[in-house]
């Protein structure tokens, strides 16, 4: 059992939680909590850390879900020191980062449904968008380079396991990426206050991508320019914009509704 916060293993674990660069160098990230721990595919697990209290009270839980891996026990004090949550549940996993290829995914889908994120910064928004993408049947989430790190612990928790089921990629050049998507016959829709048509006026049964913009500034103008269709979500009152995750939900579930009717 590790009882010191100055232990090298503990320092490395904290770096994985706090530093994107360190996560990327090691090719891993941290998953914390009982609910999401059971969502992790067995082959991705590198290490399992538990608090002393958790180990003593949840041995059956550990034996059931992760029989093939050694469990590293931390004193309750050390686990609290490491944890990124206010009320630690006593278990965290070090997990291999995931890797996807846009071309491979699109080749498998006749009418792909994509979410394209332009500089989403809030971890909770990105996590919710991942969950919504799974629920509405999106095939891929594409993120600009300046979108919050999907392996940020807050994002990971917010996905509630969807991070392991919804393919995602990050692109250094979102404009070029959208142009390539259009070359493949994918309609790319961007919200624009000057749009003449609402999101209800279009057909999403064909290959479709929805661009969702930054929480404060919306969609970058260059990204808007290369998106071939502009839409708006009509709103009552004096509201000018919606939360990024809510906008994504509205658009994706309209596409999902249309596609279910097609079937």
CA distance 99 to 168: 8
Every domain of the chain with CATH number 3.40.1280.10 lies at 102-262
Average pLDDT of 240-255?
A: 93
- Residue 67's pLDDT band (cuts 50, 70, 90): low
For 169-199, what is each residue's pLDDT tens digit? Answer: 999 999 999 999 999 999 999 988 788 899 9
Q: Which CATH class is domain 102-262?
A: alpha beta
Give residue 237's region: left, alpha or beta (phi > 0; psi -120 to 50).
left
For 111-153, what is each residue's pLDDT tens digit? Answer: 999 999 999 999 999 999 999 999 999 999 999 999 999 999 9
CA distance 247 to 230: 14
For 16-47, what is each residue's pLDDT tens digit? Answer: 999 999 999 999 999 999 999 989 999 999 99
3: tokens are 């009882």
Every domain of the chain with CATH number 3.30.1330.30 lies at 8-96
Q: Which residues, other chains included, contact 249 with Cβ-Cβ below 8 Å and sequence gap of 6+?
A: 132, 136
For 77-103, what is each residue's pLDDT tens digit? Answer: 999 999 999 999 999 999 999 999 999
CA distance 170 to 224: 18
CB of 259 closer than 8 Å to CB of 204: yes
Instruction: Tell me yes or no: is domain 8-96 CATH 3.30.1330.30.
Output: yes
């Amino acid at each position: 059992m590790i009882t010191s916060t100055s232990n090298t293993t503990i320092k490395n674990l904290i770096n994985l939680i706090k530093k994107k660069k360190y996560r990327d160098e090691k090719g891993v990230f941290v998953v914390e909590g009982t609910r999401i721990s059971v969502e992790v595919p067995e082959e991705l697990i590198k290490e399992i850390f538990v608090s002393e209290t958790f180990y003593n009270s949840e041995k059956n839980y550990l034996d059931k879900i992760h029989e093939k891996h050694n469990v590293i026990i931390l004193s309750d004090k050390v686990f609290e020191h490491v944890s990124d949550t206010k009320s630690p549940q006593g278990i965290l996993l070090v997990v291999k980062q995931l890797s996807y290829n846009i071309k491979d995914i699109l080749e498998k889908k006749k009418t792909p449904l994509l979410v394209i994120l332009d500089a989403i910064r809030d971890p909770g928004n990105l996590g919710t968008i991942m969950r919504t993408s799974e629920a509405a049947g999106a095939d891929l989430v594409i993120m600009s380079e300046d979108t919050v790190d999907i392996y940020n612990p807050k994002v990971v928790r917010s996905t509630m396991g969807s991070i392991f089921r919804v393919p995602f990629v990050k692109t250094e050049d979102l404009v070029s990426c959208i142009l390539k998507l259009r070359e493949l016959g994918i309609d790319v829709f961007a919200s624009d206050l000057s749009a003449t048509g609402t999101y209800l006026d279009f057909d999403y049964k064909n290959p479709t991508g929805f661009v969702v913009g930054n929480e404060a500034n919306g969609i970058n103008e260059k990204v808007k320019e290369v998106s071939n269709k502009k839409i708006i979500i009509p709103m009552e009152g004096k509201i000018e914009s919606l939360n990024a995750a809510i906008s994504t939900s509205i658009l994706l579930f309209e596409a999902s509704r249309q596609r279910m009717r097609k079937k």
